[in-house]
C-alpha cells in the first residue's frame, strides 16, 4: 500500500474509533442536563442520583472521546499535508472556531460538573451542566460545517497565485445546506445513542430487580427523548438525502445501486445485489416511484445513473485539463491574462483534471483510456455504500418502533410486566453504534475518490512522507486505541454493575466548607 | 466582502495571536504537564498522588484546549506552517499524540479501580504524558531556530528532507531541557499553592531547583544562539501584502541574524529578560514561601521564555535549512486576507468570553485541594 492508502486506513480507523464516543457524549450530555433540570425543579433526590450516576459513565466516555479526538485534528497536518496546504484557508477556520467557541466551553465546565457539586448552588451547577451539553452540540456543529464543505465546497475559489482554495464567501461556508442537514441528522443520531444507552442499562436493572425507581425514571426520560430523536433522525436523514441529490449525484447513485437512469419517477431498490464487475444490480426488488419522491420530491425529475455520471465526468475531465494547463503555465512562466481567464472560467473542473495524476504526470497528455479510467474512478464502492445505507435506514426505523413501544409502556408504568421488552431493549444496546458507523461510511467512503468533492482527489492530498512512518503510527494507534477501548468497556461494565448508590453523599455547601488548611492527610489516609 | 484592516497588519496580528496561543498553552496547560512530571517525586503514597492529581483534576481538560486551539488556529491562519511542520515532525508528533491520548484516560481511569498495580500503571502514564510533550515541544522550538530541512515543489507541496534523529541535535536537546525545567518550575509553583504539607514543602524545594536550572539553561541557550547559531534574514524586497506563496523571495543564512530584531526593536529584549528575571524571582518567592507570588513569577518567566524565540525569528515562522528561500514567514505563509479577518472577528468575540468563564471556574475552585472529595461518594480522581 502507498502512503495515501495507509493514511486513509489510519484516518478511517481513528475516525471510527472516535465516533464510538462522540454520539454517546452528544446524547448523554443533553440527557444529564434534562435529568438535572428535573432535579432542580422538583428537588427529588432520585433525579440527582440519576445525574451523578449517568454522569460517571459520561465522564469515562468523554475521556475516550477527547483522547481519540486529539488525533483527528492533527492528522490533517501529519498525514494530509497537501490537503492542509490546499484547503486550509477554508477548512481550518471552522475547526479553529470549534475549539474557541465549543470545545473550550465543554472542557472548561466538565471539570466543574464533577468537582462543583458542593461549590455551586443548585441552579449554578445546572447551568454548568447545560454549558457542557451546549458545548458538545456546538462542537458537532462546527465540525460538520467543516465536513460539509468537503462534501459540497461552496463559498470558495481556486487562487492561481497561491495555488490553493481560498474563501470568497464565509457565510456560504457557514450556511452550507449540507452542513445544516448533516448537523441535525448527526446530533439527533447522538441523542438516539444516548437514549438507547440509558434505556438498555435501565432495562438490565429491572431484569435483575435492582434500583427499580431509579431505572424506571431513567427509562421514561430515555424513551420520550429517544422517540423524539429517532423521529428526527429519519425525517432529517431524508432531508440529508434530498440535499445529497443536489450536489453528490454519484453518492446517491451508489446508495441506490442505480447504474442507468430510469424514466421518472424512479423506483427505490429495497433489496438487490450490486455487481460492480458487470455494472448492474441483480435480483432487485423495487418499490415504484419511491426514489423519485425521496430524492427529488417530484415525479418528473430524472435521476442520473452511474453510466450517465461517468459520461459527465469525462466531459469535466476534458475541461479541467485546460484549466490545469493554464495553472502550470502560471507557475512556470510570466503569467498571461489569457491563462488567468482560462483558470477563472474552467476552475470548477480543475479537480477533475487532477484525477488523471494517478495515471500520468501531465494530464494534458492523457490518453482516452486514461480518461476513461479516471472517469470510472469517480464511482465509489457501490455494494458497500448500498448495503451500509440500507442497514442504517432499517436500524433507524427499528429505533422509532422500539422507542414508540417503550414510550407507550412507560406511560402505562408497565415496564416490569413485559420482560421480553426489557430483554429487547437491553440487546439493542450496540445497534445505534452500528447505525452511526454505517452512516459515517455512507457519508465519507461514499465521497471517494474525492477528499473534497470535485476539487481534490484523496490520493493527491496525502503528505509526501515515508510509508514506514505511517505504518508505525497506524499500528501504534490501532494497538493503543484497542487496549484503551477494552479498558473503557471494562470500566463502563464495572460501574454499571455497581449501580447507583441510593445515598450519594454530596456535602452541603453550607455545612461542609473545606478546612482552611485544605486536606488533613491523617483524616483521609484511611478513606 | 470588504475587509477594513490591511493584509500586512492582519498578518502581524495573527503572528502575535499564534504567540499568544502558544503562551496560553504554556502557562495554563504547562502547570498540568509540570505537575504530572512531578507526580512520582512529590507523591509518595497513593493518597498523596491523588491529592496531586486532584490539584489539576478539575482544570486540566479546559487547559488542554489551548493546545487543540493552537493546532486549529495554525491550520486556519498559517496553513503552510501547519502542513509543513506536522508532516515534517511526523514521528515526534506521533509520540506527542500518544502522550496526549494517555493523559485524559489516565486521569479518568486511575481512581476507578482500587489496585496498586493498576494505579501505578496510570501514574506512569501521567508522568510520561507530562514529560514527553514538554520535552518534544522544546526540541521542536530548538529545531525551528536552526531551520527545518524542507522544500516545496512547484505545486507548493511541502517535502521534508530530513530524518527523525536529526531532530535530536545538541542545541535542540538543550531547548528541550529548558522546556522541561520551565514547566517543572511552573508545575511546582502550582502544586505549592494548591496543596498542604508535606507535599507543598516538597514542591517548594523542587520549584527552587527547577527555577535555578531553568535560569541557567535558558541563559546557556541564549549564549549559544548569540555566538554560534545561524539565523535567517530576507534579502529580497519584502512584499507584505502579496498573495501567500513562499517561493517568491530570497533568504540568507548568517550567524547572529536572530539577534537583529533585538537591536531593531529596543523593547524586545524585555522577553528574554522576563524569562531570566521571572525564574530568578520565582526561586526567591519559593524560598520566601510566597505561594501566589511564586506562581505569578514562574508564569512571567514562561511568558518571557516562549516569547523569546518568537521575537528573535520574526518575520520567520518556520525557516528551511535545506532551501532557505522556501522558508515560511509571516508575509508569505498566511491564509487569505478574508480568512484572517473573519478569524480575527471570531477571536475578538470568543477569547474574552473564554477568559471570563475560565477565570470564574478558577475562582469557584480556589483554595487548597479539599479533603472531603476523597470521602466515599465524593468526586475525586
In a domain, residue B22? The reply is yes
pLDDT given for residue B12 in this prediction = 96
Q: What is the mean pLDDT of residues B30-56?
A: 93
| Residue whose C-alpha cell reads 531556530 in the numeric block | B145
Residues from chain B contacting residue A469 (CB–CB below 8 Å): 90-91, 94
In a domain, residue B8? The reply is no
Asked if A107 and B64 count as a contact pair (C-beta separation under 8 A), the reply is: yes
- Among A96, A101, A105, beta carbon nearest to B76: A96
Cα torsion angle, B280, B284, B285, B287, sign: positive
pLDDT given for residue A526 in this prediction = 32
| Residue whose C-alpha cell reads 482544570 in the numeric block | B59
Residues from chain A contacting residue B100 (CB–CB below 8 Å): 67, 70
In a domain, residue B10? The reply is no
Provide the grid cell at A140. Answer: 458537532
Please name the residues between 329 and 348 in chain A that touch chain B, using a CB distance below 8 Å.
Answer: 331-332
In a domain, residue B88? The reply is yes
Please indicate whether residue B200 or residue A270 has the higher confidence score (pLDDT): B200
Cα torsion angle, A276, A278, A284, A290, sign: positive
Cβ separation A70–B68 shorter than 8 A = yes
Mutation site for A-interface testing, chosen from B104, B128, B190 by largest number of A Cβ within 10 Å: B104
Closest CA to B193 of B328, B286, B320: B286
Whole domain around residue B102: which residue ranges? 16-237+248-374
A181 touching chain B per CB within 8 A: no
Residues from chain B contacting residue A169 (CB–CB below 8 Å): 1
- Among A60, A79, A518, beta carbon nearest to B368: A518
pLDDT given for residue B377 in this prediction = 59
Question: What whole-number distance in Å separates Cα of residue B274 and Cα of residue B272?
Answer: 5
Chains A, B: CB pairs < 8 Å: 306
Asked if A75 and A11 count as a contact pair (C-beta separation under 8 A), the reply is: yes
Q: What percent of chain B has pLDDT over 90?
A: 76
Does the structure show a pLDDT above 60 at B21?
yes
- Among B80, B364, B367, beta carbon nearest to A85: B80
Residues from chain A contacting residue B64 (CB–CB below 8 Å): 66, 107
Residues from chain B contacting residue A517 (CB–CB below 8 Å): 196, 368
What's the DSSP call for residue B111? T
pLDDT per residue as tens digits for the range B271-290: 999 999 999 999 999 999 99
A100 touching chain B per CB within 8 A: yes
pLDDT given for residue A522 in this prediction = 36
Asked if B87 and A461 count as a contact pair (C-beta separation under 8 A), the reply is: no
Residues from chain A contacting residue B154 (CB–CB below 8 Å): 331-332
Question: What whole-number distance in Å separates Cα of residue A227 and Cα of residue B146?
Answer: 60
Cβ separation A527–B374 shorter than 8 A = yes
In a domain, residue B5? The reply is no
Spans in chain A with pLDDT lower than 70: 241, 244-245, 331-335, 502-527
In a domain, residue B95? The reply is yes
Asked if B111 and B380 count as a contact pair (C-beta separation under 8 A), the reply is: yes
In a domain, residue B58? The reply is yes
pLDDT given for residue A502 in this prediction = 55
Residues 6+ apart with CB under 8 A from B29: B60, B63, B64, B66, B67
3-state secondary structure of B368: coil
Question: What whole-number distance in Å separates Cα of residue B335 and Cα of residue B11?
Answer: 9
Asked if A160 and A340 count as a contact pair (C-beta separation under 8 A), the reply is: yes
3-state secondary structure of A86: helix
Q: How many structural domains is chain B composed of? A: 1
Residues from chain A contacting residue B194 (CB–CB below 8 Å): 518
Residues from chain B contacting residue A66 (CB–CB below 8 Å): 61, 64, 104
Q: Is the peptide bond before B315 cis (omega within 30 degrees of 0)?
A: yes
- Among A107, A164, A503, beta carbon nearest to B61: A107
Question: What whole-number distance in Å separates Cα of residue A176 and Cα of residue A183?
Answer: 11
**What pTM does this model have?**
0.91
- Among A73, A78, A525, beta carbon nearest to B72: A73
pLDDT per residue as tens digits for the range B141-168: 999 999 999 999 888 899 998 888 888 9
What's the DSSP call for residue B113? S
ipTM: 0.91
In a domain, residue B304? The reply is yes
A127 touching chain B per CB within 8 A: no
Question: What whole-number distance in Å separates Cα of residue B174 and Cα of residue B182?
Answer: 12
Does the structure show a pLDDT above 80 at B373?
no
Amino acid at each position: 500500500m502507498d502512503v495515501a492508502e495507509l493514511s486513509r486506513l489510519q484516518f478511517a480507523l481513528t475516525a471510527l474509533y472516535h465516533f464510538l464516543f462522540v454520539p454517546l457524549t452528544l446524547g448523554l450530555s443533553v440527557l444529564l442536563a434534562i435529568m438535572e433540570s428535573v432535579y432542580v425543579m422538583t428537588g427529588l433526590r432520585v433525579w440527582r442520583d440519576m445525574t451523578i450516576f449517568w454522569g460517571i459513565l459520561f465522564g469515562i466516555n468523554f475521556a475516550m472521546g477527547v483522547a481519540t479526538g486529539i488525533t483527528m485534528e492533527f492528522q490533517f497536518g501529519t498525514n494530509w499535508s497537501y490537503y492542509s496546504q490546499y484547503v486550509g484557508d477554508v477548512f481550518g477556520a471552522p475547526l479553529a472556531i470549534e475549539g474557541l467557541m465549543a470545545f473550550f466551553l465543554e472542557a472548561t465546565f466538565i471539570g466543574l460538573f464533577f468537582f462543583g457539586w458542593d461549590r455551586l448552588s443548585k441552579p449554578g451547577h445546572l447551568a454548568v451542566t447545560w454549558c457542557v451539553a451546549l458545548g458538545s452540540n456546538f462542537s458537532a456543529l462546527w465540525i460538520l460545517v467543516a465536513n460539509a464543505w468537503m462534501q459540497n465546497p461552496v463559498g470558495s475559489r481556486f487562487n492561481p497565485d497561491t495555488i490553493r482554495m481560498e474563501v470568497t464567501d464565509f457565510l456560504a461556508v457557514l450556511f452550507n445546506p449540507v452542513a445544516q442537514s448533516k448537523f441535525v441528522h448527526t446530533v439527533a443520531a447522538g441523542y438516539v445513542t444516548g437514549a438507547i444507552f440509558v434505556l438498555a442499562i435501565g432495562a438490565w436493572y429491572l431484569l435483575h430487580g435492582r434500583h427499580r425507581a431509579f431505572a424506571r425514571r431513567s427509562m421514561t426520560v430515555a424513551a420520550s427523548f429517544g422517540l423524539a430523536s429517532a423521529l428526527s433522525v429519519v425525517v432529517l436523514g431524508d432531508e440529508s438525502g434530498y440535499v445529497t441529490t443536489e450536489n453528490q449525484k454519484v453518492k446517491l447513485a451508489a446508495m441506490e445501486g442505480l447504474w442507468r437512469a430510469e424514466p421518472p419517477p424512479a423506483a427505490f431498490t429495497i433489496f438487490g445485489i450490486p455487481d460492480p464487475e458487470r455494472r448492474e444490480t441483480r435480483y432487485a426488488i423495487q418499490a415504484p416511484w419511491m426514489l423519485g419522491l425521496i430524492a427529488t420530491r417530484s415525479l418528473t425529475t430524472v435521476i442520473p445513473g452511474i453510466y450517465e455520471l461517468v459520461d459527465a465526468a469525462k466531459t469535466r475531465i476534458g475541461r479541467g485539463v485546460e484549466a490545469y494547463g493554464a495553472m502550470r503555465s502560471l507557475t512556470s512562466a510570466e503569467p498571461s491574462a489569457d491563462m488567468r481567464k482560462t483558470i477563472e472560467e474552467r476552475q470548477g473542473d480543475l479537480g477533475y483534471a487532477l484525477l488523471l495524476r494517478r495515471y500520468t504526470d501531465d494530464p494534458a497528455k492523457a490518453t482516452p483510456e486514461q480518461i476513461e479510467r479516471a472517469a470510472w474512478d469517480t464511482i465509489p464502492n457501490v455494494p458497500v455504500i448500498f448495503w451500509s445505507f440500507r442497514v442504517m435506514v432499517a436500524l433507524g426505523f427499528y429505533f422509532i418502533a422500539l422507542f414508540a413501544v417503550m414510550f407507550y409502556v412507560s406511560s402505562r408504568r408497565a415496564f416490569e410486566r413485559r420482560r421480553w421488552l426489557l430483554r429487547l431493549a437491553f440487546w439493542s444496546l450496540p445497534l445505534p453504534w452500528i447505525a452511526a458507523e454505517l452512516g459515517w461510511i455512507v457519508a465519507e467512503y461514499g465521497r471517494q475518490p474525492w477528499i473534497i468533492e470535485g476539487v481534490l482527489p484523496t490520493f493527491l492530498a496525502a503528505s509526501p512522507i515515508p510509508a514506514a512512518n505511517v505504518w508505525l503510527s497506524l499500528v501504534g494507534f490501532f494497538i493503543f486505541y484497542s487496549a484503551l477501548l477494552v479498558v473503557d468497556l471494562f470500566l463502563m461494565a464495572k460501574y454499571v454493575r455497581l449501580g447507583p448508590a441510593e445515598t450519594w453523599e454530596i456535602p452541603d455547601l453550607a455545612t461542609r466548607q473545606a478546612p482552611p488548611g485544605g486536606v488533613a492527610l491523617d483524616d483521609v489516609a484511611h478513606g | 466582502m470588504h475587509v477594513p484592516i490591511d493584509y500586512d497588519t492582519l498578518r502581524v496580528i495573527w503572528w502575535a495571536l499564534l504567540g499568544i496561543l502558544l503562551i496560553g498553552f504554556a502557562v495554563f496547560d504547562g502547570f498540568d504537564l509540570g505537575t504530572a512530571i512531578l507526580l512520582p517525586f512529590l507523591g509518595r503514597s497513593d493518597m498523596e498522588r491523588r491529592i496531586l492529581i486532584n490539584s489539576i483534576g478539575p482544570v486540566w481538560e479546559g487547559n488542554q484546549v489551548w493546545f487543540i486551539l493552537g493546532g486549529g488556529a495554525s491550520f486556519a491562519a498559517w496553513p503552510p506552517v501547519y502542513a509543513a511542520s506536522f508532516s515534517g515532525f511526523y514521528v515526534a508528533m506521533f509520540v506527542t499524540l500518544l502522550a496526549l491520548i494517555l493523559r485524559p484516560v489516565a486521569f479518568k481511569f486511575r481512581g476507578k479501580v482500587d489496585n496498586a498495580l493498576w494505579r501505578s500503571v496510570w501514574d506512569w502514564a501521567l508522568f510520561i504524558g507530562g514529560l514527553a510533550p514538554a520535552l518534544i515541544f522544546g526540541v521542536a522550538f530548538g529545531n525551528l531556530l536552526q531551520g527545518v530541512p524542507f522544500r516545496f515543489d512547484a505545486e507548493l507541496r511541502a517535502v521534508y528532507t530530513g530524518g527523525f534523529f536529526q531532530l535530536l541535535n545538541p542545541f535542540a536537546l538543550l531547548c528541550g531541557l529548558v522546556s522541561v525545567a520551565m514547566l517543572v518550575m511552573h508545575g511546582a509553583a502550582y502544586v505549592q499553592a494548591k496543596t498542604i504539607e508535606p507535599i507543598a514543602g516538597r514542591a517548594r524545594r523542587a520549584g527552587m531547583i527547577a527555577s535555578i536550572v531553568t535560569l541557567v539553561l535558558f541563559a546557556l541557550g541564549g549564549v549559544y544562539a548569540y555566538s554560534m547559531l545561524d539565523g535567517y534574514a530576507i534579502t529580497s524586497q519584502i512584499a507584505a501584502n502579496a498573495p501567500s506563496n513562499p517561493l517568491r523571495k530570497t533568504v540568507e543564512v548568517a550567524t547572529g541574524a536572530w539577534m537583529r530584531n533585538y537591536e531593531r526593536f529596543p523593547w524586545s529584549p524585555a522577553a528574554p529578560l522576563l524569562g531570566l528575571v521571572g525564574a530568578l524571582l520565582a526561586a526567591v518567592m519559593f524560598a520566601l514561601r510566597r505561594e501566589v507570588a511564586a506562581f505569578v513569577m514562574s508564569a512571567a518567566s514562561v511568558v518571557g521564555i516562549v516569547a523569546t524565540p518568537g521575537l528573535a525569528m520574526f518575520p520567520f515562522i518556520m525557516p528551511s535549512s535545506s532551501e532557505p528561500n522556501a522558508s515560511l514567514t509571516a508575509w508569505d505563509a498566511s491564509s487569505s486576507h478574508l480568512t484572517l479577518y473573519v478569524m480575527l472577528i471570531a477571536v475578538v468575540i470568543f477569547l474574552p468570553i473564554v477568559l471570563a468563564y475560565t477565570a470564574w471556574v478558577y475562582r469557584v475552585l480556589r483554595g487548597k485541594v479539599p479533603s472531603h472529595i476523597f470521602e466515599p461518594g465524593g468526586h475525586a480522581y
